[in-house]
Amino acid sequence: MPAPISLRRYYDVNGWFFVVPALGLIAVFMIYPIIWSLWMSFQTGRGLVMHFGGLANIVRLTEDPVFQLALTNTILFFVIQVPIMLTLALFTAVLLDDPKLKFAGLIRTAIFLPCVMSLVVYSVIFKSMFVDDGVVNRALAAVGAISGPIPWMSDPFWARVLLIVAITWRWTGYNMIFYLAALQNIDRSIYEVARIDGVPATARFFRLTVPMLKPVILFTTVTSTIGTLQLFDEARNIVASDTSAGTAGPGDSVLTLSVYIYNLTFRFMPSFGYAATVSYVIVILVALLSFVQFTVARERD
């Protein structure tokens, strides 16, 4: 018979035993880097020669047109892309949720399929589809939508449109799956009663479906926003005209914060402190936007 130790202590020791390996790794590869990078954001200098610069990096942010362009681009992307994508995903999910719909499974699988492709792979495939004489411009011309080829790769405006189209392609099905799962958890009799009561279809959607899906809509909004704020793979691979120079798209039109941080760190003469400062701009944006979205969702209650 083992020496009697208190049961509570036995379970407590076991509890630590189970979580310590993960906590150790997270301390080394997560917490330590977070703190280090915060510390670095107050350092200035090039390469490994760094010294304390106080708020110098923050001042530099306000004077750096490239940073401001990257910030504008990043914000532009999620402000336009996230609502388009989520609306599309919700709309598709509601249509697919109809139990009488034929081929629903097949259509759902097809729309979900883009999630299987890696970000880099789909980026290069889009790149090949959107070249000047490529398949997309030809298709648009064939249906008479355009008179000349759209300069997706060389015009800043169209390059941004391309990026938004591409991201929407990749993630709509992903978000749709969340909505579908939530819709399937809704008791159908709620809709049946509403129909018997004569509630019209649009009112059923806005008064019943949307409020019941609120937690999922919030979840997808937050995750999509965080994802878009960290945009890197696509920005660097779809329209990257010249990676060796570190530009992203014509006139840096698809330069995002993450690409800029990468360039600051690994492309030019490294500016670690300043790059860390820019990375904390993303942290602040993520925190701010998540907070705003949670508050908005709560107030609507």
Residue 195 CA to residue 202 CA, distance in Å, equals: 11
- Does the protein bind another protein through residue 76 (CB under 8 A)? no
Beta bridge partners of 43: 52
Part in contact with another protein (CB under 8 A); list of ranges 53-61, 190-198, 203-211, 272-280 = 272-280
Q: Mask of contacts with another protein, 149-168, x by CB under 8 A? A: --------------------
- Does the protein bind another protein through residue 215 (CB under 8 A)? yes
Give the one residue of 283, 288, 292, 296 binding another protein; rule: CB under 8 A.
Answer: 283
Amino acid symbol at 297: A
- Does the protein bind another protein through residue 75 (CB under 8 A)? no
Least Å from the CB of residue 225 to another protein: 11
Of the two residues 133 and 187, which places its CB atom closer to another protein in the complex?
133
Give the one residue of 11, 49, 144, 148 binding another protein; rule: CB under 8 A.
Answer: 11
Nearest to residue 158, comparing CAs of 258, 238, 78?
A: 238
List of E strands, the chain: 43-44, 51-52
Residue 256 CA to residue 73 CA, distance in Å, equals: 6
Question: Hunting for tokens 């009112």 — which residue is that?
Answer: 203
Contact 183, 97 (CB under 8 A): yes
Of residues 181 through 210, those in contact with another protein by CB under 8 A are 181
Burial class from Cβ neighbours inside 10 Å (0-12, 13-18, 19+) for residue 154 reads middle
- Does the protein bind another protein through residue 78 (CB under 8 A)? no
Least Å from the CB of residue 207 to another protein: 20
Of the two residues 38 and 208, which places its CB atom closer to another protein in the complex?
38
Residue 274 CA to residue 46 CA, distance in Å, equals: 9
Residue 278 CA to residue 69 CA, distance in Å, equals: 13
* 175 token code pair: 């978000």
The residue count for binding another protein (CB under 8 A) is: 104
- Does the protein bind another protein through residue 12 (CB under 8 A)? yes
Of residues 232 through 271, those in contact with another protein by CB under 8 A are 232-233, 236-237, 240, 243, 257-258, 261-262, 265-266
Of residues 16 through 45, those in contact with another protein by CB under 8 A are 16-19, 21-26, 28-34, 36-37, 40
Contact 159, 167 (CB under 8 A): no
- Does the protein bind another protein through residue 99 (CB under 8 A)? no
